[in-house]
Amino acid sequence: MKPAAPAIAASSLLIRTSNWLGDIIMSLPTIQAVVDLYAGARIAVWTGRAGADLLADAPWRAETINTGGPAREEVRAVRAGRFDLGLLLPNSFSSALSMRLGGVRKRVGFPTECRRVLLSEPVHLPLGSLHQADVFFALGRALGAEGPRGLPVVEMGDEARGFADRFLDERGLAGSPVVAIHPGGAKVQRRWPAERFARLARRVAEAHGAAILLVGGPGDEDAVAASRPAASTPTLTSCGVREMAAVLSRCRLFIGNDSGLAHLAGTVGAPVVGIFGTSRPALTGPLTPPGNLEAVASDLPCSPCRERFFRECRPVNEGGALLAPCLHAITVDAVAEAVERLWQRTCG
């Protein structure tokens, strides 16, 4: 079969990703399709710290422009690259403006956030209730990518795998059925209560003889500490994205909030029980092989919400903390039942 030809000729390509880990993972099938499409081009990825770590072992070994610094420096770095073509995966106005000011000749993206004037090649936003990964893939199709969207692939590398082996061995987890639990998340209002995670952890450990490992990213330390079912429960909150991916790939199960780590776990093969309050799994859930996801959601009429927390819904006071009604409605029993279904399906 003759390979697809790019819709826009280019010898250099800049791909701007989101800064959120979950969004980056959902965009990986699009990034890979575009990289394959422009196999002979010089490719750079403009991304944040999580994206740079996640993509460090990618086989196409793109050069990286880092976000997070002064906007003027980012524009200068883009301009120095002299790119023919830019692909904007996030919908922000600022990303399109920086690419325009950076002199990228052809700029492809969705004309959202009043940025139509900044795009040379606007792509109509797909209609209907599509998964975010398919929304991203519409941009790939606009550039000429063909075929069905695949699943994300994360390259971990030997160093990350070695870290996972040492970590599990040092914590006495090697050889045990490990269940990773992530009680954190970037937005506090999207977190299921830590006390419920602790109760759930005890139930899972007792029911299946599982070893519990609490995991988290930057900013999750308090949630992880509050969710420990016992003082001796091991935790992992300070490692790189690829190291975390390698640890999660060795876990029998992952349980957590709708977060980047849930996406990471699903991508590396861990069966996922995801807790969805304000979001809908059909739109932003982890991309997993068939049968590897159990989504627990309250399915309130306002889901997915606009996340104007407690301005458009009345919070529930639970132990002195304000909790969104959609999360309050998800019980420990409901999540435990989802764990049991997934355990029997994937581990039984």
Reading the block at residue 277, the tokens are: 């309050």
Domain that holds residue 130: 12-142
For residue 257, the number of C-alpha atoms closer than 13 Å in the C-beta half-sphere is 29
Structural domain tally of the chain?
A: 2
Q: At what angle do helices 71-81 and 93-101 cross, to 10 degrees?
A: 50
Q: How confident is the model at residue 61 (pLDDT cuts 50, 70, 90)?
A: confident
> Do 169 and 134 lie in a common domain?
no
Q: What is the CATH number of the domain that holds 35?
A: 3.40.50.2000
Residues near 189 by beta carbon (within 8 Å), at least 6 away in sequence: 278, 307, 309, 310, 322, 324
pLDDT confidence of residue 59: 85
pLDDT confidence of residue 3: 62
**Residue 151 domain-assigned?**
no
pLDDT confidence of residue 196: 96
**Residue 3 domain-assigned?**
no
pLDDT tens-digit readout, 286-312: 999 999 999 999 888 887 777 777 777
> Do 236 and 260 lie in a common domain?
yes
- Are the C-beta atoms of residues 151 and 287 closer than 8 Å to each other? yes
Nearest to 302, CA basis, from 281, 330, 279:
279
Q: What is the largest CA-CA distance in the chain?
A: 62
Domain end among 142, 173, 206: 142
pLDDT confidence of residue 4: 75
Could you give phi then psi for residue 271, rounded to 5 degrees?
-60, 140
Peptide bond into 304 cis (omega under 30): yes
> Do 48 and 194 lie in a common domain?
no
Q: Is the dihedral of CA 185, 188, 193, 194 positive or negative?
A: positive
Q: How confident is the model at residue 71 (pLDDT cuts 50, 70, 90)?
A: confident
| Alpha-helical runs (H) found in 171-259 | 194-208, 221-226, 241-249
186: helix, coil or strand? Answer: coil
**Residue 147 domain-assigned?**
no
247: helix, coil or strand? Answer: helix
Q: Which residue has the tokens 């990825």?
A: 45
What's the rounded mean pLDDT across residues 93-111? 96
> Do 125 and 161 lie in a common domain?
no
> Do 173 and 319 lie in a common domain?
yes
> Do 79 and 179 lie in a common domain?
no
**Residue 315 domain-assigned?**
yes
pLDDT tens-digit readout, 185-198: 988 888 999 999 99
Q: Is the pLDDT of residue 27 over 80?
A: yes
- How far apart are alpha carbons 171 and 212 in whole angstroms? 11
pLDDT confidence of residue 2: 55
> Do 198 and 326 lie in a common domain?
yes
Cα of 159 vs its chain's centroid, Å:
22
Rounded to the nearest integer, the mean pLDDT of the chain is: 93
Domain end among 108, 142, 176: 142
Q: Is the pLDDT of residue 58 over 60?
A: yes
- How far apart are alpha carbons 254 and 155 in whole angstroms? 19
pLDDT tens-digit readout, 211-240: 999 999 999 999 999 999 999 999 999 999
> Do 177 and 292 lie in a common domain?
yes
**Residue 51 domain-assigned?**
yes
Q: In percent, how much of the chain has pLDDT > 90?
A: 79
> Do 115 and 165 lie in a common domain?
no
- How far apart are alpha carbons 189 and 223 in whole angstroms? 12
- Are the C-beta atoms of residues 341 and 294 closer than 8 Å to each other? yes
> Do 165 and 308 lie in a common domain?
yes
- How far apart are alpha carbons 93 and 220 in whole angstroms? 29
Q: Is the pLDDT of residue 67 over 90?
A: no
**Residue 298 domain-assigned?**
yes
Domain end among 142, 175, 206: 142
Nearest to 143, CA basis, from 34, 304, 292:
34
> Do 190 and 217 lie in a common domain?
yes
**Residue 302 domain-assigned?**
yes
- How far apart are alpha carbons 273 and 253 in whole angstroms? 8
> Do 161 and 119 lie in a common domain?
no
Nearest to 243, CA basis, from 214, 268, 212, 271:
268
pLDDT confidence of residue 1: 47
pLDDT confidence of residue 348: 64
**Residue 131 domain-assigned?**
yes
Q: Which residue has the tokens 């790019």?
A: 6
